[in-house]
Amino acid sequence: MDYRNIEVRTERKNKRKFIHFEDIILYEDDDILLVNKPVGIASLADKDNLSLQRLAKKYNKDLRLCHRLDKLTSGILLMAKSAEAYRSISMQFERRKIHKYYHALVKGIHQFEGHVVDLPLLTTASKKVTVNKSAGKRAKTIIHTEKHFKNYTLLRCEPVTGRMHQIRVHLASQGCPIVGDTLYRGRDMFLSDMKRKYKPSSRKTEQPVNHGFLLHAHTLVFTHPTSEKEISFSAPYSKNFEVTLKILNKYNTNA
């Protein structure tokens, strides 16, 4: 298989797309490379043996992934081109010097200004994560409100720690699970819930507009391993996230 041009299954039924590695590069220099990971591809090898890491190594065999995202989470990922760069970035992660900001869309109106969720998390045998104050590992997330719609809120979340499914579980614990995140009580969004005079098709069942859960790794702030200057990069929304926001701006505003 040519991993430079990889087929990715999306959340839409029977929908597929092809990803070319060069098309998802956000920035590249002699030391680092940043990409905008699409929805539907694992960071590391999954059961289908497909991953962003494999795709990256076909582009440059020296590339090493410095962190990871869930398969259905889109957004910015940082890679190192040398052992020295990887070591520098790893130390920054270990010392919590790297800041990651995610955008999440949730149902309801929520006002968070630096709201801190500090709840320990435990991964179960079924790979589902739960809040567990006695056996869980410490997890901390800072939440800000980015924008209100009529019935939804766009949030900015900064995970201080890096636990599995941390943002998803922490938001659900605050009564605002992510749209489409059915594993943690999130519900899909339908156009019929917002559009007046919506006419359903008699031939097919209405599909959700979100096509998966809406969590996007939006911005990464870190110190460049060579220049030692603090830099910041942001990744455009995935297509399903972008389309959902356009629909909200059209049919779910307070105006």
Q: Mean pLDDT, to the nearest integer, of 160-167?
A: 96
Whether the per-residue pLDDT at 129 is higher than 80: the answer is yes
Does residue 31 have an active-site annotation?
A: no
CATH number of the domain to which 182 belongs? 3.30.2350.10
Q: Which of 70, 118, 188, 193 is catalytic?
A: 70
Count up the domains in the chain and report the number.
1
What's the CA gap between 199 and 197, in Å, rounded?
A: 6
C-beta neighbour count of 40 within 10 angstroms: 22
Whether residue 152 has pLDDT greater than 90: yes
The Cα 27–Cα 149 span in angstroms is 32
pLDDT, residue 38, reads 95
77, 35 Cβ separation under 8 angstroms: yes
Confidence check: pLDDT of 43 > 70: yes
The mean pLDDT value for 150-174 works out to 97
For residue 206, give every residue at least 6 positions away whose Cβ sits within 8 Å of its Cβ, in sequence order, or none.
Answer: 190, 191, 192, 200
- Calculate mean pLDDT across residues 122-150: 96
The region of weakest confidence among 9-18, 129-138, 177-186, 221-230 is 9-18
Query: What is the pLDDT confidence band of residue 251, given thresholds at 50, 70 and 90?
Result: very high
Q: What percent of the chain has pLDDT over 70?
A: 91
What residues make up the domain containing 70? 5-251
pLDDT higher than threshold 50 for residue 193 = yes
What is the arithmetic mean of pLDDT over 207-224? 96
